[in-house]
Amino acid sequence: MFAYYLELAFRSLRRSPGLTALMVLAIGFGVSACMTTWSVFRAASGDPIPWKSSQLFVPQMDLWSSSARSADGEPLDALTYTDALALMRDHRAVRQSAIYGIAPAVFPARPGQHPLTLGGYAVFGEFFRMLDVPFLYGQGWSAAEDAAAAPVVVISRALNDKAFGGANSIGRSLDVAGHDYRVVGVVDDWNPQPAYYDVFGTGGYTREGPALFVPFTRAIAAGLENGRTACDVEPASPGFVGLQRSDCAWITFLAELDTPAQVRAYRLYLDDYAAAQRRAGRFLGAPNNRLRDLPAFLAAERVVPGDTRVSFLVALGLLVVCLFNTVGLLLAKFLRRSGEIGVRRALGAARGAIYAQFLTESAMVGLAGGALGLLLTGLGVLGIGAVLQPRLAALARLDTRLLVSTLVVAVLCTVLAGLYPSFRAARVQPAWQLKSD
């Protein structure tokens, strides 16, 4: 019976090609706009580490005066060098790491290659296990190497391909900022979005994953500077050493806390630490600490950009408008065939059969609109940079999930749009139609 309905739907669509084209275009454009912006919104608002995000916490402390605080009273999402080292030294978390961004020059070992300026991070060895960073070769460094400020490095798969031709490079040397570093690990493809470990100064989005990681202590000793700082008062002395001695915030921090009891204990520790620093004359205002898990922190930092959300809502509104237009077109198309419906009803066709026939026709329109939507979604992903910021547009990806979702949404929306027209068509009274004929 379904094959019969398909045949009737195909014949009906062929009889009015102009009307059919209008409906297909409406569905295709509406769905493609919605799915293109959804691909960005999905990436921006997703949980970057869902299996562990509720155990990862960001401690925030405010040492500035109340007049220097933001309007909402929120502390910065970074710490000073003094406070970050104090938290590392006291080590009240299961795992933890101070983090700051670096961009050293890297000199590949392969002959004939030019130096590369690559983005990376200075971290502690616990960073890799805490964030479940995947390794292709080797592993992170040890606590002893942290303490010794050892010249070791963990590099990305992409950098390993450039510097060592993709071979297992564990134990080999890499020139980083003019010094030899021993490769101890190669990270497999890893670029979570948002980049939750470095929201300070980046907004949480990066085009490429980190190229390398070096021990935090080694980066400080080697003078690998960070370009992102927030200062209430300028450092008393210049240079990187002056930054370390200042009350400028430039180091992010992550702590793993596995139980509610550990969270309560860590929160109490932060309050006690802030109170002690205020008594020492460092913290100028009343204690203003935060300890949020990762989803709460990303929400508080408004990591999902407003223009992404607005673009998605606008595209969703366009889809709704297209669906209402499709409802009107389907209604006009179906009721124009009232005579045909009356004859079928007089010959014994049940209302359910009429209903199924016209819903099948709606689904065929949705399938054709979905096919057009797939093409337009692909073009939209390529050209979305004209609407959104490049760092956000780069999040749009054509994948199987997006393509299947586009087709399913197109068919589902068109079937929903066809419910009322099909209902009206099924309610046609055969006696009236036969009498008028």
Dump the DSSP string for 380-406.
HHHHGGGTS-HHHHTT----HHHHHHH
Lowest mean pLDDT: which of 142-151, 204-213, 243-252, 348-357?
348-357
**Domain presence at residue 269:** yes
Distance of CA 183 to the CA centre of its chain: 30
**Domain presence at residue 268:** yes
**Domain presence at residue 57:** no
Structure confidence by residue, pLDDT tens digits, 206-230: 677 899 999 999 999 999 988 788 8
Check: CB of residue 225 under 8 Å from CB of residue 242: no
Which is more confidently placed, 11 or 164?
A: 164
Residue 156 DSSP class: E
Beta bridge partners of 179: 176
> Got the DSSP string for 285-301?
SS---EEEEHHHHHHHT
Of 288, 321, 338, which one is at a domain's C-terminal end? 288
* Pair type for strands 152-156 and 56-60: unpaired
Structure confidence by residue, pLDDT tens digits, 51-104: 999 999 999 998 775 544 555 678 888 999 999 999 999 999 999 999 999 999
Confidence band, pLDDT 50/70/90 cuts, at residue 30? confident
Instruction: Reply yes or no on whether the pLDDT at 383 is more than 90.
Output: no
Residue 109 DSSP class: S
Instruction: Reply yes or no on whether the pLDDT at 423 is more than 90.
Output: no
Q: How far apart are CA 107 and CA 125, in angstroms?
A: 24
**Domain presence at residue 299:** no
Confidence band, pLDDT 50/70/90 cuts, at residue 392? low
Of these ranges, 12-26, 213-227, 232-246, 413-427, the one predicted with the greatest mean pLDDT is: 213-227
Q: How far apart are CA 95 and CA 262, in angstroms?
A: 12
Does residue 10 sit in the same domain as residue 140? Answer: no
Does residue 74 sit in the same domain as residue 220? Answer: yes
Does residue 336 sit in the same domain as residue 213? Answer: no
Of 288, 318, 339, which one is at a domain's C-terminal end? 288
Number of Cβ atoms within 10 Å of the Cβ of 210: 25
**Domain presence at residue 54:** no
At residue 27, the 3 state secondary structure works out as helix
Find all residues with CB under 8 Å of 28, minimum gap 6, and list them.
369, 370, 371, 372, 373, 375, 376, 410
Q: Tell me, what's the pLDDT at 222?
A: 93
Of 254, 288, 322, which one is at a domain's C-terminal end? 288
Q: What is the mean pLDDT of the chain?
A: 82
Beta bridge partners of 102: 120
Number of separate domains in the chain: 2
Does residue 225 sit in the same domain as residue 109? Answer: yes
Does residue 271 sit in the same domain as residue 324? Answer: no
Q: Tell me, what's the pLDDT at 125?
A: 96
Interval 102-109 mean pLDDT: 85
Find all residues with CB under 8 Å of 422, minimum gap 6, and list them.
330, 334, 354, 355, 358, 359, 362
**Domain presence at residue 254:** yes
Does residue 149 sit in the same domain as residue 183? Answer: yes
Q: How far apart are CA 92 and CA 273, in angstroms?
A: 12
Interval 335-352 mean pLDDT: 64
Q: How far apart are CA 200 and CA 195, in angstroms?
A: 10
Confidence band, pLDDT 50/70/90 cuts, at residue 433? very low
Which is more confidently placed, 412 or 354?
A: 412
Which is more confidently placed, 232 or 13?
A: 232
Confidence band, pLDDT 50/70/90 cuts, at residue 387? low
User: What are the contacts of 261-268 at 24+ separation with CB within 8 A?
Assistant: 262/93, 262/94, 263/57, 263/291, 265/92, 266/57, 266/59, 266/92, 266/93, 266/291, 267/291
Q: Tell me, what's the pLDDT at 67?
A: 46
The amino acid sitting at 273 is: Y
Q: Which helix (H) or strand (E) holds 383?
A: helix 351-383
Q: Tell me, what's the pLDDT at 25?
A: 87
Does residue 41 sit in the same domain as residue 72? Answer: no
**Domain presence at residue 264:** yes
Find all residues with CB under 8 Å of 297, minimum gap 6, and list them.
57, 58, 77, 196, 199
The amino acid sitting at 354 is: I
Does residue 13 sit in the same domain as residue 88? Answer: no
Does residue 19 sit in the same domain as residue 76? Answer: no
Interval 298-307 mean pLDDT: 73
Q: Tell me, what's the pLDDT at 422?
A: 75
Lowest mean pLDDT: which of 61-75, 158-172, 232-246, 326-340?
61-75
Check: CB of residue 232 under 8 Å from CB of residue 64: yes
**Domain presence at residue 226:** yes
Confidence band, pLDDT 50/70/90 cuts, at residue 171? very high
Interval 407-429 mean pLDDT: 77
Check: CB of residue 136 under 8 Å from CB of residue 126: no
Does residue 36 sit in the same domain as residue 92? Answer: no
> Got the DSSP string for 154-178?
EEEHHHHHHHHTTS--TT-EEEETT
Instruction: Reply yes or no on whether the pLDDT at 363 is more than 90.
Output: no
Q: Tell me, what's the pLDDT at 65?
A: 57
Instruction: Provide the H-helix boundaries in 67-119.
Output: 81-90
- pTM of the predicted structure, to 2 decimals: 0.71
Q: Tell me, what's the pLDDT at 158?
A: 92
Confidence band, pLDDT 50/70/90 cuts, at residue 341? low
Find tokens 């992550």 and name the residue.
Answer: 254
Does residue 346 sit in the same domain as residue 263? Answer: no
Does residue 229 sit in the same domain as residue 83? Answer: yes
**Which of 190, 185, 97, 173 has its CA nearest to residue 139?**
185
Check: CB of residue 6 under 8 Å from CB of residue 381: no
Residue 233 DSSP class: S
Length of the chain, please? 437
Interval 409-414 mean pLDDT: 83
Cis peptide before 104 (omega within 30 of 0): no
Residue 57 DSSP class: E
Instruction: Reply yes or no on whether the pLDDT at 282 is more than 80.
Output: yes
Structure confidence by residue, pLDDT tens digits, 111-122: 666 778 888 999
- For 419, the domain range is 2-46+305-436
Confidence band, pLDDT 50/70/90 cuts, at residue 19? confident
